[in-house]
Structure 1
Amino acid sequence: MRTFLHTMRRVTGALLAAAALLPSAHAANAPRAPQPVAAAAAIQSRTIDANGIDIHYLQAGHGDATPVVLLHGYTETSHMWQPLMTRLAGERVVLAPDLPGAGGSAMPASGYDKKTLAQDIHAMVHALGYRKVKLVGHDIGLMVAYAYAAQYPDEVESIVLMDAFLPGVGDWQKVWLLRDKWHFNFYGDTPEKLVRGRERVFFEHFWNDFAADAAHSVSEADRHYYSAQYARSGRMRAGFEYFHAFTQDADDFAVFAKTPLPMPMLVLAGERASGTFLIDQAKLVSTNVQGVVVPGAGHWLMEEAPDATMAQLVRFIDAPSSNSN
């Protein structure tokens, strides 16, 4: 049955990927996107078959230190991690996949709950010949990182959660019910039609309203790039599914939380975004939490406070891990 499901995911993913190559009026008029690997020659763009679907990923670095897997969030792709990849690549392999449904990865017909996405990334890691990893996740990516560590705790040396929240953990409904989280329930045919050709208009809500200062958030070049990526056929639908799956995620995470994670965990949150909320949640699911609130930053930590954020990430990732057996 598992093999059959993987085959079906691969077939439907291939059909959706083929559809994504068809031209559309709004995509044709989108600004020319920068090449995601042009800025750093050491970063390679690759694709691998994992868990029945094709996953696109960026790879940099070499060495014997434990590989790092970087997981992006909504409105972005693996492209967001390039500045960090070059900082981490001296002694280790650094992997930054596009989550299924995003960037260059396949768009499966189902499986956008974070438990399944984590299984996809885990399959990618194993297909590449690695077992032990260190995880970093931002936004939706932190949910996938947590689901990965919860399902495969013996294979995760450390984990970083960056500014969002964990569905189903503690008083998480306070986040769900916040006025600016209406997009959690924004999915289906009508929302897809409303944003078609207006992907950037929709994303400006996230890039501007979740930033401490909209003028110092995601760059203009990256806004063009991400808007064009998600404007490709089927990509907005897939992105909406990340939110549509929150109910299932909450059920899964409530079960995961009953077994606290043992590996070191760093939580990075923007002072003007998650604040201490995610840190408090993390302490409910882990026995070894370091919490850092980045002063003056909003949700987009890598863009709003790159130096402070990357300094904390490099410090934590390069530290010896007590969970490295």
Structure 2
Amino acid sequence: MTSTIQQLSDPFGQVAFRDAGVPRGAPDEPVVLLHGVGMQSAAWAPQIDALSRAFHVIALDLPGHGGSDQLPSGSDLEMFLDWFLAALDALGIRRANLVGHSMGALIAGGFAIRHPDRVARVALLNGVFRRDDAARQSVIERAALIGTGSFDVQTPLRRWFSDTPSDRAARADVGGWLSEVDVEGYATAYTAFAHGDALFSDSYDKIRCPLLALTGGDDPNSTPAMSWAMAKAALHGRAIIIEHHRHMVNLTAPEAVNAALVDWLNWPCEQGEGI
């Protein structure tokens, strides 16, 4: 599936996206997928394939990733939320089911808080939530290093993958996407990711729609404890932990992730579900 380009309002340039499945219902409430830092919409291939059989699915390239234009250097998480709002408006999406991975989860969670009328459901995959001081300092230092133009592909791959067959297969694809990413766009997104997890962490009780928080049981940075905390903080939250997987769980355990997302898409929006 090839990407399509859509012009956004100033100052956001163009967004690249993948569109699959047939719009259903009136109005259409598509599943909108937001990937993590260093990735691109192609990283959602297993979810696009599975979900588009029954739902309208749109996967966006984040700014400075894939075919999307960059945001200005130094843009913070709130600028990424403004970009996402502009993207939804340009694509004519009034209300969506949001799925975010890692940095995409920060955007999706923040957007559900800031624009609740635009979100039917929100799923946060391998999201970060209230990092402790040591974790926060570590990720800020990595962001500063990337900002100097120093970018080591192998370092994130070692954190994100084990040596199981499913991990080895996904690792090759992820390594390729990381190698292709624009360093300036990567640095801008990673800096927003490093500093953004505390921005909305005290406001998750304002998320009224059904919230799914899912992560890998062995993810050292987007930990199971974080997913449980996000689910508990939201009004209608549920946490799912996929054991023996790490950060790229949508690629290493696609069947389990897809099943969880299909179930989440059938939660009633009117009342949501408890943990």
If the length of structure 1 is used for normalisation, what is the TM-score?
0.73
Cα separation, partners in 2 of 1:323 and 1:184, compared to 1, 3 Å:
farther
Q: Which residue of 2 aligns with 1:27?
A: none
**Alpha-carbon deviation of 1:251?**
5.8
Instruction: Quote the Cα distance in structure 1 between the aligned partners of 2:160 and 2:140.
Output: 10
Q: Which residue of 2 aligns with 1:270?
A: 216
Tell me whether 1:204 sits opposite 2:151 in the alignment. no
Q: Is the 8 A contact 1:260 1:287 kept in 2?
A: yes
**Could you list the runs of 4 or more consecutive aligned residues of structure 1 that deviate by over 6 angstroms after TM superposition?**
none
The structure 2 residue matched to 1:186, chosen from 145, 156, 173, is 145
Instruction: Quote the Cα distance in structure 2 between the aligned partners of 1:101 and 1:290.
Output: 32
Cα deviation digits, residues 119-155 of structure 1 (max 9, x gap)? 2122211212121100001111101111211111111
Give the 3-state SS of the residue equivalent to 1:109 in structure 2.
coil
Q: Which residue of 2 aligns with 1:225?
A: 176
Q: Which residue of 2 aligns with 1:305?
A: 253
State how 1:79-228 maps to structure 2 within 5 Å: 79-110=42-73, 112-166=75-129, 169=130, 172-177=132-137, 182-189=141-148, 192=149, 194-195=150-151, 202-213=152-163, 216-217=166-167, 219=170, 221-223=172-174, 225-228=176-179
Give the 3-state SS of the residue equivalent to 2:111 in structure 1.
helix
Cα deviation digits, residues 267-288 of structure 1 (max 9, x gap)? 1111101342222431464111
Give the number of aligned pairs. 264
Q: Cα RMSD (Å) of the superposition?
A: 2.6
Q: Which residue of 1 aligns with 2:9?
A: 51
Instruction: Quote the Cα distance in structure 1 between the aligned partners of 2:244 and 2:22.
Output: 35
Letter in 1 for 2:145: F
Instruction: Quote the Cα distance in structure 1 between the aligned partners of 2:160 and 2:194.
Output: 22
Instruction: Quote the Cα distance in structure 2 between the aligned partners of 1:96 and 1:243.
Output: 20
Q: Is the 8 A contact 1:257 1:284 kept in 2?
A: no
Instruction: Quote the Cα distance in structure 1 between the aligned partners of 2:70 and 2:271.
Output: 34
List runs of 5+ in structure 2 lacking aligned partners.
none
Cα deviation digits, residues 40-80 of structure 1 (max 9, x gap)? xxxx5211112321000111011325201100002211001
Cα separation, partners in 2 of 1:216 and 1:144, compared to 1, 3 Å:
same
Q: Which residue of 2 aligns with 1:60?
A: 20
Instruction: Quote the Cα distance in structure 2 between the aligned partners of 1:92 and 1:219.
Output: 25
Instruction: Quote the Cα distance in structure 2 between the aligned partners of 1:262 and 1:54.
Output: 31
